[in-house]
Amino acid sequence: MFIMGKKLVGGLFAGLLGAGLYAAYQKMDETKKNRLKRDFREKTDELRDRAVDYAFYANDAVSDFKDAFKDELNSTKGNVKDASSSFADKAKSFKTAKDSDGTDVSAEEKADQDDIIVDARDAFNDSGYSKATKSDTQDDANLSDTDEEKDNETEDHSNSQPNQDHSDNQ
């Protein structure tokens, strides 16, 4: 309701202002009216010219941007074409060098490289470690047999103990 009141007051003010300006215009003599009309036309013509100038400036700026973008795009395309042709030339020269030798250069490089093969027997032959002898392996076997016998004895010993039942508490 309050907003509607503001709009009403604003409308009444604009109406009264317009009516006052019209009344003041009607009371002017003809030379002043003509001068006011001429000044108004000049100002509107000046504003129209400015608007047209700004539209041309904007159009020129967009056109310049398009031209600069096209130039950069063409330059980039040229650089890519140069790089791809250079790469293709190098690939062709590599292929012709390979064909003229009759062998694959990469295969020759691979043949020149030594492969590392690790064999445990070869690795420990030159070391200070002694080889496992027959007596060492027999001692190891005897130790494992005695360990198994001890395990069996402890199992038998634990099974041979009678179950003690605490039936006193019944």
Does a structural domain hold residue 118?
Answer: no
Which structural domain, as residue segments, surrounds residue 74?
A: 10-95
Does a structural domain hold residue 165?
Answer: no
Does a structural domain hold residue 81?
Answer: yes
Q: What is the pTM for the complete model shown?
A: 0.35
Residues 6+ apart with CB under 8 A from 124: 131
Does a structural domain hold residue 14?
Answer: yes
Does a structural domain hold residue 2?
Answer: no
Does a structural domain hold residue 122?
Answer: no
Cα separation values, 141 from 111, 137, 145, 148, 155, Å:
47, 6, 6, 11, 21
pLDDT in tens, 23-38: 998 898 999 989 989 9
The sign of the CA dihedral 48, 54, 56, 62 is negative
Please report the pLDDT score of residue 5 as a whole number.
82
Does a structural domain hold residue 48?
Answer: yes
Q: Could you give the CA distance from residue 51 to residue 26 in angstroms, rounded to a whole number? A: 32
Does a structural domain hold residue 104?
Answer: no
Residue 124's CB is within 10 A of a number of other CB atoms, namely 13
| Among 98, 116, 120, residue whose Cα is nearest residue 107 | 98
| Residue segments in the chain with a per-residue pLDDT below the cut of 70 | 1-2, 97-115, 123, 125-170
Please report the pLDDT score of residue 46 as a whole number.
96
Q: How many domains does the chain have?
A: 1
pLDDT in tens, 100-115: 665 555 666 666 666 6
